[in-house]
Amino acid sequence: GIVLGADTRATEGPIVADKNCEKIHYITDNIRCCGAGTAADTEYTTALVSSNMELHALSTGRTPRVVTAMTMLKQMLFRYQGHIGAALVLAGVDATGPHLFTIHPHGSTDKLPYVTMGSGSLAAMARDDALALVKAAISAGIFNDLGSGSNVDACIITADHTEMLRNVEMPNVRVQKERTYTFRKGTTAWTKESVRNLVVSEQVTPVGDAMDTT
């Protein structure tokens, strides 16, 4: 089978926008896709290809293959010449066995026994297909790359079924503070208070005939 893993941090430059986003996207029941790069691009690109794969399955009457999804993704990304910031790891199991691909934003692809993508990929490199090593690889990216963080998601795809493991490991759980700080009302003093209404006056002048709403 295939084991996929991803962290759960989404950033806007130096700002952590989402601590627990989902980066393992659904393509079909037997195919999943991990996304790195621009979150909106990965989300809508995978959603579009997932819809097309369902139409392909209904048209052919067969379970779609991983290489079909890979071809759809790379042709779409190549068409936009890298302006869609989606770096993808596509994996799944079909009638021909397990497959693992990387798809770059410009449309180039690689088929390898193990792959990593994203800003944390230089710190995460695992070869074994065991879940423990996948978690260790994702954790390496979380702790050594500021663009990756929060929790670990994993996905195990076999010929029989697909198991999605959401937040399978949470190394950054917020601990209880040793003390709580409360301040009574009036602790911080101020010299004066001024409340101003920004809308001084407003007058609505109807123009033309009133719309018939009957």
List Cα–Cα distances, 58 to 2, 32, 168, 212, in angstroms: 25, 19, 33, 47
Determine whether 152 is exposed, middle or buried from the number of CB atoms within 10 Å of its CB (0-12, 13-18, 19+).
buried
Single-letter code of the amino acid located at 121: S
Q: What would the pLDDT profile of 56-70 be if each residue is shown by its tens digit?
A: 999 999 999 999 999
Mean pLDDT of the chain: 87
Label residue 127 by pLDDT band (50, 70, 90).
very low
Q: Please tell me the number of Cα atoms within 13 Å of 50 on its side-chain side.
A: 17
Please name the residues in contact with 76: beta carbons below 8 A apart, sequence gap of 6 or more: 45, 48, 49, 84
Considering only CA atoms, which of 33, 31, 22, 84 is closest in space to residue 54?
A: 31
Q: What pLDDT, on the 0 to 100 scale, is given for residue 122?
A: 60
Q: What pLDDT, on the 0 to 100 scale, is given for residue 131?
A: 81
Percent of the chain at pLDDT > 90 equals: 50
For the cut 90, the answer to whether the pLDDT of residue 204 exceeds it is no
List Cα–Cα distances, 14 to 9, 10, 19, 152, 165, in angstroms: 12, 10, 13, 21, 28
Helix (H) or strand (E) holding 78: helix 66-79
What average pLDDT does range 193-212 have in this prediction? 75
Label residue 128 by pLDDT band (50, 70, 90).
very low
Label residue 182 by pLDDT band (50, 70, 90).
confident
Q: Is-contact 43 173, C-beta < 8 A?
A: no
For the cut 80, the answer to whether the pLDDT of residue 124 exceeds it is no
Q: What pLDDT, on the 0 to 100 scale, is given for residue 186?
A: 78
